[in-house]
Amino acid sequence: MTAGRAREAARNSEAILAAAREVFLADARAPIAAVAERAGVGISALYRRYPGKEDLLRTLCHDGLRRFIAEAEQAAREPDDWAAFEMFLRGVVEADVHSLTVHLAGTFTPTAEMSADAMRASELGDALFQRARGRMRPGAVPADMTVLLDMCAAVRVLDAGRTTELRRRYVTLLLDGLRAPGDLPGPPPAEAEVNWRWRT
């Protein structure tokens, strides 16, 4: 089937996406040349597949969004309310999907489809939150979930594997904090405060 040159091209497409994910996750403003270098290809290999930098960023972010939705849908199948919620957060953190959307948003103009997906993602997330709300400390709101994910995304060390391990550690801590008794101080975050990323 796909052999020789065609196979190499397919491999490159994958390599470019993977490289882009790594590079732009480390620094959203990284030059496109860094992606090519990381992927081990020339710049033209990149431009053959994407009309420009923005398109690459958009694709990357949209992929992340889809993954986010997939995680939410899978978690929703879990019957236990808290378990579903926990599985969702852990899944999103594990896939490093939130960093993707957080860091990259604003570096490109979203398509209509992306906006729709973003809305759907937020609905799915909220639904999982509502189911688990009964087991959380009073005063927790869905927007808290977004902030917690931001906080996890902020955990990063030089080695990617260790970053993942450490994040698992702190999701645990955060989830425990979310179930602790006692009120949380101050007005909770508003949905709008937390979604400045998606302002069109």
Cβ of residue 183: shortest distance to its own copies, in angstroms? 9
- When asked if residue 52 is in the footprint of DNA (CB under 7 A), the reply is yes
Q: Does 29 bind DNA (CB under 7 A)?
A: yes
With CB under 7 A as the contact rule, the residue among 41, 136, 152, 153 that binds DNA is 41
The CA–CA distances, whole Å, from 131 to 40, 52, 84, 106, 124 equal: 46, 42, 8, 31, 11
The interface region with DNA, picked from 39-47, 120-128, 140-148, 156-164 by CB under 7 A, is 39-47
CB of 143 to its own copies, least distance (A): 10
Shortest reach from residue 86's CB to its own copies, in Å: 13
Q: Show contacts of 101-104: CB within 8 Å, 24+ apart.
A: 101/61, 101/64, 101/65, 101/68, 101/197, 102/150, 102/153, 102/197, 103/24, 103/25, 103/28, 103/153, 104/24, 104/28, 104/57, 104/60, 104/61, 104/64
Interacting residue with DNA among 17, 22, 47, 137 (CB under 7 A): 47
Number of residues that bind DNA (CB under 7 A): 24
Q: Is 4 among the residues that bind DNA (CB under 7 A)?
A: yes
The contact mask relative to DNA for 124-143 (x = CB under 7 A, - = no) is --------------------
